[in-house]
Amino acid sequence: MANRLIQLNREVQQDPQNPRLWLEIAAVRMGKGERDEAIKALESAKRCADGQPKVWADLGSKFAEVKLFAQAREMLARACAHEPASADFAHRLGRVLVADERLSEGAAVLAAAVWIAPDEPLYRVELARALLEARKREEAENLLRLVLQRSPETADAWLLQAEIELSRHDPASAVAALERAFAQRSREKALGMRLAELLRSSGDHARAAEVLRVLAGAHPEDVEVLLALGQAQDAAGERVGAIRTLESALELPDIGLEGFLHLGALYKAAGRLDEALEPLQFVVEQDPENAEAHYHLGEALLALGEPGQAVSVLVKGAMLSKDDRRLRNLLQAAAAAQSSAPAGGDPGASIDRQVGLGAPRPSDLAFTGDLAQFGLVDLLEFLRLNRRTGVLQIVSTQGMGELYMSEGRMIGANTSNSERMGELLIKAGMLTTAVFDEIIAEQGEGAPMALVRAVLDRGDVKAAEMRAILFQQAQDAIGEVMGWEDGYFAFQGDEMLKRAFADYPEVELDTSSIIMELLRRMDEENAGHEIGDLDDFEL
């Protein structure tokens, strides 16, 4: 495309009054998404197109493609005035008027095209479509019925009939109409994909797979078609065929993560667990917010006898999709399997091997399991003594929590029920709403530490003041988690957290100090309750 544009620019320099060259340049520019440059080329074509009605008509169509309907109407009206017997020009003008929502005018011009060329069914279909949009349903259906009787091979007529059937909430009749259209235009991707989608929604996965196989034959390197075919084959019970289709799709350069996820899930369902790990771990690594990938990877790891790794993956998945019962049930099963595994080494560790791309490291999985088995205070103390760096993630029916550690020192904490760091800083007067919005606009919604670091870098808040906010937030988060009656946890190593406050080490918190202060506060609250109970006692 780039070479063609270079060639056209050379030609137009030699023949600047050739409107066809400018039209082709506009088409190339539009193909590259360069709308403004395409419009400039169309304007150049317009200036040198005097006395050429076919060029005027082509210009009108091109102006319509870039949504410049006034210019499109001008060019096509000029072409129609010069050749009033041209059904093609009238048809094009009518379509532009309809696209510009001038429905009555568009229908009148399209009716003229039908009058000029009564044997062209496409013009009648376009008129029927315009009448439908103008809410003249009965006229439109009568006209379309006539087309289908006289010219049943007109695919566009069946496509419009399918739209009408869908508006009547009759998917079966819509499928029948699309089947007729697809029989005539089986290479048309949009048509085949729409038909397959309707077939699948009606439960006819086998027929959807047949349609998509035909489409894949015409578009063997179209990733979207191959993925749809693989999913339809899987739903139709053709698991082996689905795996082969998706394996071939993965060889294409523009395959997305959806293909890896679906193939991994298919390998898992077929019992090919070792093969399932690599594509599933790849998706988790590339898209760490994908809860579905965490579910399938966790299930595969559990089936392979790696409950510790499964818990780690599933805790993250449960945090991403809080209402997904499958994740919670699988997490419960993995935690139960882990607790029944032979003890040895670090608490919760059950790593016998490393698996493929993106597999968690053994040190990352030193803590995975059920909160009922390990006290949170003991876990935090172990992290502190072993100078671990990473995130302790906790999932409970009462909430979610994340505690961030850098070499055993806490650098952040939050739960799904706690105030966000931005809210705390604004409430404390350390940050204005305007500054907060400015920071978010610059860096996006990231981890809480990113916001803290940005505020410190601006110099508006001293490290000692920020430390007090972090200390209070960590204390509140740990106190809340300690009150949860159930839950699962997983420690995920993340060495990058060491750099979070590398320039501000004074804001890092001693975990023991947080816990001691929290326990002291809890003792005071309990003592207060006891004194209140005595005051209420009547002699």
Q: What is the largest CA-CA distance in the chain?
A: 112
Mean pLDDT along residues 381-400: 87
The whole-number pLDDT of residue 445 equals 64
Pair of tokens at residue 19 = 């409107």
The predicted-structure confidence for 13-66, as pLDDT tens digits, reads as follows 999 999 999 999 999 999 888 999 999 999 999 999 888 999 999 999 999 999
207 in any annotated domain? no
Which carries the bigger pLDDT value, residue 537 or residue 429? 429
Q: How far apart are the first and last CA of the chain?
A: 96
- Considering only CA atoms, give the Rg of the chain: 33
What is the amino acid identity at position 370?
Answer: D
Question: Comparing C-alpha atoms, which of 487, 499, 492, 482 is closest to residue 411?
Answer: 499
Report if residue 301 sits inside a domain.
no
Task: List, for residues 239-271, the tens digit of each pLDDT value.
Answer: 999 999 999 999 998 888 999 999 999 999 999
Within-domain flag for 208: no
Confirm whether pTM is higher than 0.75.
Answer: no
419: containing domain: 371-535
Tens digits of residue pLDDT in 277-292: 999 999 999 998 899 9
Q: Which of 142, 147, 56, 135 minimizes the C-alpha distance to 96?
A: 56
Counting the structural domains of the chain, the total is 1
Beta bridge partners of 395: 400, 488
Pair 539, 491: CB distance under 8 Å: no
Residue 389 lies inside a defined structural domain of this protein: yes
Measured from the Cβ of residue 104, the count of other Cβ atoms closer than 10 Å reads 12
496 in any annotated domain: yes
172: Cβ contacts below 8 Å, ≥ 6 apart = 202
What are the pLDDT digits (tens) for 105-148? 999 999 999 999 999 999 999 999 999 999 999 999 999 999 99
Residue 110 falls inside a structural domain:
no
Answer yes or no: are the C-beta atoms of 5 and 28 closer than 8 Å.
Answer: yes
At residue 368, the pLDDT reads 75
Strand order in the sheet with 488-493: 368-370, 488-493, 390-396, 399-406, 409-415
Which residues, 6 or more positions from 284, have their beta carbon under 8 angstroms from its beta carbon? 290, 293, 294, 297, 313, 358
**Three-state secondary structure call for residue 404:** strand
359 part of a folded domain:
no
Average pLDDT score over residue span 300-315: 89
Q: Quick check: is 452 in a domain? A: yes
